[in-house]
Structure formats: structure tokens, C-alpha cells
Amino acid sequence: MLNSYWEYAGTRYRNKFQAIDASNGKVRDISYHAFPDSSFDTFDFSVEPKESFSQLIKDRALQLRDTYPYLKLWFSGGADSTTMLNTFLTNNIFINEICVYRFSPNNCFNDNEGDYEILNYAIPFLKKIQNEIPNTKIKIIDYGKDYYDQILTDSWFYKKNSLSLRHFAIPKINGKNFCNIFGCLDPLVISDNNNNFYHEIWDTSNASELANARNIELFFTSPNMLKLHSKQCHLMKQYLIDNPTIERNNWNEQKKIIRNNLRDVAIAPEPSWFIKAMYPKDNMFFNTKDRVQYKQYSKTQKDKIKYLYSTATVNNYVLPNLITSHKARTLYLGKG
């Protein structure tokens, strides 16, 4: 199960902006801890697991099924969640619930360009296969005007861990007999001048937004099955070795490789306007989908957002201007 947090002066925080607030501007003194589990320290990531990737993802699905009475798979139609879903379906491994979320600050849920993949592909696909999985509940969760009107307050940043406008909250359920499954982490690798390869875990990954949620399982990365995470990193490493013209340490290029070569074909093709990249120097727009969603906000909502991202302060600091990246782990993958 995911266990990650930020730490400052001996205090742990599940919310990144709370740690930033506590640091009073000393953001470099904040540390990020992802999977603080001894298994990550003792596992030899330099050796590629002998099992095939397809066998390991099947084993992971079976492991989750055997561990939790109730599985909730969060589906977007992208390559990661498509691969997850296909693994359960093709191996006849039961999923209790498939969840899809939609955003619309003006309640136009069926006309939100930011949810292009969800509206045009993910939801229609799930409706199409519902007869094949009649015992699986398909749940569409909407975050609309009332949600954004309520959450766009001075406490906005204390409810999230990134700058993205596409904030969502996983429904809180008591108990430990269930898990929320998300398709993380991406096997992004780097290499140095001596042809050593590494994988690094940072708080800029999608998983960091899940730090303050309960009962989270990352499908591709877990201390309970490190072979799977290692295998996908080695597949990326080998792809870069076999294709020397690709710029090795370009993460945007590696994201393309992941989608096109290391995952199943996505149910939802990405729209032509979507650039899967982050803009850390742009406070208001974390990625392209944020820019698209911003168009839907009312003038009142936009004014609140502009205030929060450019004027509101804590300890005399504008919090978005203090955002920085923190690395949790470096995993050595061996030489190329």
C-alpha cells in the first residue's frame, strides 16, 4: 500500500503545502519519503527480473485480488489504466468496482474538453462491456460547480499536493478491507556519462497527489512486488539502448515510449492539443488540460483562482512560488 509523506523538522505531512507552510520559506530543508520500506533498500534493481512483463502484471492483479475483499480500479482510458483493466479482464480476475471521475466547474459534464478521453472513450467503453462484467459496479464521480465553489478558498492548497486545477478527492470510506488502484509509477530512467542507468522517485509524479488519501495501491509499483517495477524500468532501459538516437534523459520522450511500447494501446487516444508535460514555472496552469479547464470557470471562480495562485500568502509567502521538487529515492539499474 502506498505510504508517502513530506517531512520538515521531524514532523511528517501528508500534504506538501502544509510542509511548505511549516518550513517558513526553507523549502530545501523538506524531505520527501515514498515507500519508506526496507524492501526497496534490499532489492537488487540492477538485475532485470527473469519473468515476463505480462506474467508480472498478472501476478500483481492476483496479489491485489488475494489481499483485499474489495477492489476499486480508477479508470481514465489512458495507457496505464487500460493496461491495468485489461490485465484483470483477460485473466478473469474479478474487480468489484471501476471508478471514473469527471470535472466541470460549470456543471457541463458532457461538454468539457478537458475530459475528452473520459467522455468520448472511457465511459462509452465501460458501458459497452458492462454486460460482460455484470457483477462489477461502474461508478462515475462528478466534481462540479458546488464542489469548486466550496473548495476554492484559502485552504485550497492544503487539500492537494500539486498545482493542478484538476483537483479531485477520493471518497473517504472507513475500514481496511478495500483498496483504490491507480496506474503508477511511470518507469522513467536516466543515465550518466559512464552509462549507468537509474530510476528516481520524485514528488512530481502522479502518486504524490494520492499521499493524503487512504488505502491506495499503485498497480505498477509496490513494495509487495518490486519485480514488476524493476522489470518495467529495465524494459525502458533496454529500449533506450536499442534506440541510441533517442535523447535518453528526456522525460517527455520517455512518456511517449511508455504509452506506445510498454503499455497496452489506450482505450482513449489523446487529443491532438494535449501535451503531456508539466509547466512548473507557470503557477496557474500545471499542464495543458488545466488550460482547457480554466475556460469553463465563471468570472467569480477565475478571480478566486487568480487570487490563490498569485496573491494569497502564508507566512508572507505566496505558496505557489515556493513549490519545488523533492526526490525520495534513486534506484540503480546497472550499466547499459
How confident is the prediction along the chain (336 residues), in pLDDT tens digits per residue? 888 999 999 999 999 989 999 999 899 999 999 987 788 999 999 999 999 999 999 999 999 999 999 999 999 999 999 999 999 999 999 999 999 999 899 999 988 887 888 999 999 999 999 999 999 999 999 999 998 899 899 888 888 888 888 777 788 777 788 999 999 999 999 999 999 999 999 998 888 889 988 899 999 999 999 999 999 999 999 999 999 999 989 988 999 999 999 999 999 987 766 655 444 444 555 677 788 888 889 999 999 999 988 888 877 888 777 888 999 999 999 999
Which candidate, 308, 331, 119, places its Cα nearest to that of 230? Answer: 331
Q: What is the pLDDT of residue 286?
A: 61
Q: What is the pLDDT of residue 82?
A: 97
Classify residue 58 by its DSSP letter: H
Neighbours of 165 (CB within 10 A): 26
Q: Would you state the cell numbers that stand for residue 220, as one nine-digit string?
A: 505498477
Neighbours of 212 (CB within 10 A): 20
Q: How far apart are the first and last CA of the chain?
A: 31
Cα–Cα distance for residue pair 286/60, rounded to 1 Å: 31
Q: Are 327 and 202 in contact (CB under 8 A)?
A: yes
Instruction: Determine the distance from the C-alpha atom of residue 106 to the mean position of all C-alpha atoms in its chain, rounded to a whole number.
Output: 25
Q: What is the pLDDT of residue 166?
A: 76
Classify residue 295 by its DSSP letter: T
Which residues, at least 6 apart from 103, have a Cβ–Cβ distance to it below 8 Å?
Answer: 112, 114, 115, 143, 166, 168, 293
Domain boundaries, the chain: 4-335
Q: Across-strand partners of 178?
A: 70
In the block, cell 487568480 appears at 306
Q: What angle do CA 280, 82, 39 make, to 5 degrees?
A: 70
Classify residue 47 by its DSSP letter: S
